[in-house]
Amino acid sequence: MARAKSSTVRTRRRLKQPAAVVIEATVDTASWADGADIAGGRLPAWLSFLADAERREAFRRAVAGEAVVAARYAPAEDCFGRGIDPLGLMLATPDLIALRAARITAAPASFDPGRCQLRFALLAAAPPAALDQHWHDQRDRIRCWPVAAADLVLIGGSATSAPVLEDFSEQAMDALAVGDFAALATATATLLGLMGEQLNAVAALRWLSLALEAAVPDRALLRALIEAVGSGQFTAPAEAVITPTDEAVVPAEPAAAAPRLVADIAVLTRDIAAVKRCGPVLDRKELC
Amino acid sequence: MPLFFDPPRVHFDGHCELQDASALWQFLRATPAAEVDLECCEGMHAALFQVLAVLRPRIVAPPIDPRLGSLIEQVTGSAP
């Protein structure tokens, strides 16, 4: 049948843009569609499959104090006949960050298109009350988990134990101790600009940089990330969630701490420049 | 009708509803190497999405909504 293109083509051209939600083409959905959990059952396993952009966006929202929620939706098989559209419900979830779908039946021969065999998993940065209101009568089919910023930190890349990183961690801890977040952010950005791409320390620095964007940074989270810069290993603090009562700490000695850290960064910069002359990347156990 | 059948291709137009799922299912099962054009698709009921997930046809053009397009790519393994 011949078909005339509708005006939606023009709409599509207007809307043609990079996907706001990046979905990986190959996702091992079996692990989450069947209900597997991680972290002792505290978090859904599918969080492991988040794309980097999704993970960073959720982290940014979490450190800003927004509620980030992971959810898994198992619609009833007869939901279509009751006027429920699970796909539409999921796509319209407020402040959706990530969405995954899977079907739980494998063989087309046994498939009934009138019965819902779908499962969904999502990550949203919306207040639980707003999600409850949106999901309405499907709420009892949806399991939710609160997600803390620390739950989203994933540090990959090559290991390194460069002395400059240990020095940075030490000085950054000093800045953190006096609440000089501005100096810490500057130092982090400076070091990021000097490091190679594929190092776990760089991954930690990126998370640290994001965490410092918060109006009231979470000190426990910052401390854990600074330690990760030096060690390449991230250990979530016991309580990494920002609380509304977390007071804005007035720096005890901001005037003294900032110049010191900047001076230290200048030294680090020289060290790194020297290292760069010795090799193309900072991914060796021993540098120079 | 929001589904236009032009074998071996089916075109989605506008928002495709639950009642289209059966026709889509039958067409895709009966058409070897079927192709799906979602260029003018503004949305679809979960029942159609599920048919695509089960039969995994070749998607030749993504839908308007990039989120829906990403999901379809995920469940069909077909990227336009």
Give me the interface pTM, i.e. the ipTM.
Answer: 0.97
Q: Which CA distances in Å does A159 have to A50, A51, A162? A: 22, 22, 10
Tell whether the torsion through CA atoms of A241, A246, A248 and A252 is positive or negative. Answer: negative
pLDDT in tens, chain B (80 residues): 699 999 999 999 999 999 999 999 999 999 989 999 999 999 999 999 999 999 999 999 999 999 999 999 999 998 88
Domain that residue B24 falls in: 12-76
The CA distance from A121 to A99, in Å, is 6
pLDDT the model gives residue A232: 85
Residues with Cβ within 8 Å of A10's Cβ and at least 6 positions away in sequence, in order, are: none
Residue B55 inside a domain? The answer is yes
The closest of A39, A121, A108, A62 to B52, measured between CA atoms, is A108
Residue B62 inside a domain? The answer is yes
Q: Do A8 and B11 touch (CB under 8 A)?
A: no
Residue B4 inside a domain? The answer is no
Residue B48 inside a domain? The answer is yes
Residue B8 in contact with partner chain A when CB distance is under 8 A = no
Optimal mutation site among A12, A27, A73, interface B, most CBs of chain B within 10 A = A12
pLDDT the model gives residue A276: 45
pLDDT the model gives residue A275: 43
Among residues 42-71 of chain B, which lie with CB inside 8 Å of chain A? Answer: 42-47, 49-51, 53-55, 64-71
- Give B33 to chain A, closest Cα distance, Å: 16
Q: How many domains are contained in chain B?
A: 1
B11 φ, ψ to 5°?
-105, 130
pLDDT the model gives residue B79: 83
Q: Are A39 and A12 in contact (CB under 8 A)?
A: no
Optimal mutation site among B16, B31, B50, interface A, most CBs of chain A within 10 A = B50
For chain B, counts of helices (H) and of strands (E): 3, 4
Residue A109 in contact with partner chain B when CB distance is under 8 A = no
Optimal mutation site among A103, A119, A120, interface B, most CBs of chain B within 10 A = A103
Q: Which CA distances in Å does A80 have to A15, A117, A143, A197, B50? A: 29, 11, 20, 48, 11
pLDDT the model gives residue A182: 94
pTM for the model stands at 0.76
- Count how many Cα atoms sit within 13 Å of the Cα of residue B2 in the half-sphere of its side chain: 21
Q: Do the bridges between strand B58-61 and strand B35-44 make them parallel or antiparallel, or are there none, so unpaired?
A: parallel
Residue B24 inside a domain? The answer is yes
Residue B65, classed as helix, strand or coil, is coil
Q: Which chain B residues contact residue A113 at CB under 8 A?
A: 21-22, 25, 47, 50-51
Tell whether the torsion through CA atoms of A60, A66, A67 and A72 is positive or negative. Answer: negative
* Cβ-nearest to B45 among A85, A105, A108: A85
Residue B40 inside a domain? The answer is yes
* Cβ-nearest to A9 among B18, B39, B75: B39
Among residues 54-93 of chain A, which lie with CB inside 8 Å of chain B? Answer: 75, 80, 85-88, 91
pLDDT the model gives residue A159: 83
- Strand order in A118-124's β-sheet? A96-103, A118-124, A68-73, A142-147
Residue B46 inside a domain? The answer is yes
Residue B18 in contact with partner chain A when CB distance is under 8 A = yes
Q: Do B45 and A20 touch (CB under 8 A)?
A: no
Q: Do A113 and B74 touch (CB under 8 A)?
A: no
Q: Are B29 and A108 in contact (CB under 8 A)?
A: yes
The closest of B38, B74, B42 to B56, measured between CA atoms, is B74
Which segments of chain A have a pLDDT < 50?
Answer: 1-2, 4-30, 240-259, 272, 274-288
Q: Do B49 and A118 touch (CB under 8 A)?
A: yes
The CA distance from A110 to B9, in Å, is 24
Residue B61: count of CB within 10 angstroms of its CB: 17
Residue B23 inside a domain? The answer is yes
Q: Which chain B residues contact residue A1 at CB under 8 A?
A: 4-6
Tell whether the torsion through CA atoms of A89, B69, B26 and A106 is positive or negative. Answer: negative
* Cβ-nearest to A3 among B11, B67, B73: B11
Optimal mutation site among B67, B72, B73, B78, interface A, most CBs of chain A within 10 A = B67
Residue B11: count of CB within 10 angstroms of its CB: 21
pLDDT the model gives residue A269: 53
The closest of B15, B49, B3 to A116, measured between CA atoms, is B49
Beta bridge partners of A233: none
Q: Are A98 and A46 in contact (CB under 8 A)?
A: no
Query: Would you state the structure tokens that stand for residue A269, as one six-digit string?
Result: 């910069």
